[in-house]
Chains A and B, each alone.
Chain A
Amino acid sequence: MPLYYKDKEFGYRPEVRAILPWRFFVFSLFFALTCFALYFLFSNYLLPSSEKAQKEIKEKTSQLGKEISQKDRQQVLVFYSQVRNLETLLSSHVYLSSLLTEKIEKNLLPQVSLNQISIKSSKHFFSLQGEADSKETLLKQILVFEKDEDFSKVEVGSLSYNKNIINFSLNVYFKPEIIRYNKE
């Protein structure tokens, strides 16, 4: 509804209200107060409460670590190490008896007798010292070892003749798999 005022010169004239400055002023006051209020809100409530929450979570997280006793941890750690160590050790566990029975004994000719057997599992070889009844027998014996696929190299160490007997020493290198449980 339009408002009028009485002008001395022109009589009743429509009123021009100064709306903008007052609303603008109120808005500016509201804006400034809001800015102050925000400052107090952040500094007195939101930041301290966030800090408190942060501290609480950190504390709770550190408490989690204490829920398992040191003794239990050590026990499991040792068990885990034992299992891992055993896995490695079993994969390299050696069975020299199988080499002795399945390889040396089976490949030995009846005309050859051994005086000494020395097996070194880490170096993958064995040395034999013995007697053969003839050169041919010894040669046959060397060929038997050489033909076996599980032996990689046969070396003749020494040879000596004593009446009808030949004393010899042989070094035979074998594949590491043949003294392992899992031969593949």
Chain B
Amino acid sequence: MAIKTETKYGQRSLIIVSSVIIILVGLWFLFSKDWPLFRDFLKMREEIYQLKKEYKFQKERLLKTQEIFKKFHSRLSEVEDISLALPIKEDYGQILSEIQFIAQKNNLTIDDLSFQKGIIKNEEVEENSLFIPCSTIVISLKGRGYYSEIKNFLKDIESDIRLMDVERIDLTKRILGLPGKRVKTSNPLISFSAIISTYKQELR
């Protein structure tokens, strides 16, 4: 049996007009409300992607850093050796005893010894660098001894585990004997004065 559905023009037009209005309202809603939210959502997704990337990068860095720390802790004895060459602590007593020991070993008499405290060596520090410069301790000393022993003293200072640089040395022969009857020797008694730089690692 056939179904008869008769649609009048007025009814049709009403449906079409209301449909168009609904679509227009939908479109307005889509562009004024949905679209900004969608844009925000996309922006946020992009940010999350970047943050995830950053997190992954930081995590990899952390793993590498932890590896470095592991190695660092397993080689603490070597770290301590480095601290012997370039100490962290301000140890004037240690410097004094070290120089006295080297002098005594070489039969030298130290008459005068003084320190000048830390000038920071910062010539090569880049901006925002994590690198901490070291400072210089200047040691001035005066003493006496035989020439060959002074040379050995110099060698010992140069090869000491604590890094020391002899900046200046003055050797003056002490005249032995009466005027006109000088004693000639290849190993004369010498008065010496020296300026030695040693270094200390600064801390932040």
Contact = CB atoms under 8 A, between A and B. Distances in A.
A58 B51 contact: yes
A18 B41 contact: no
B22 A114 contact: no
Main secondary structure of the interface of B (DSSP, over half): helix
A96 B155 CA distance: 8
Interface residues on B, range: 35 or more
A35 B34 contact: yes
Contacts of A120: 167-168
A97 B151 contact: yes
A28 interface: yes
Interface residues of A, number: 72
Nearest to B154: A97
B102 interface: no
Given A4-B2, A67-B62, A77-B204, A32 B133 contact: no
A39 B18 contact: no
Interface string A117-133: 11111100000000000
Interface of B: 2-7, 11-12, 15-16, 18-20, 22-23, 25-27, 29-30, 33-34, 37-38, 40-41, 44-45, 47-48, 51-52, 54-55, 58-59, 62, 65-66, 68-69, 72, 79, 82-83, 85-86, 88, 121, 124, 130-134, 151, 154-155, 158, 163, 165-173, 184, 199, 201-204
Given A3-B2, A116-B171, A119-B170, 15 more contacts: A3-B4, A21-B12, A28-B19, A28-B22, A32-B25, A39-B34, A46-B41, A67-B66, A80-B131, A81-B130, A85-B121, A85-B133, A95-B158, A115-B173, A120-B168
Interface of A: 3-5, 15, 17-18, 20-22, 24-25, 27-29, 31-32, 34-36, 38-39, 42-43, 46-47, 50-51, 53-54, 57-58, 60-61, 64-65, 67-68, 72, 74-86, 88-90, 92-97, 100-101, 113-122
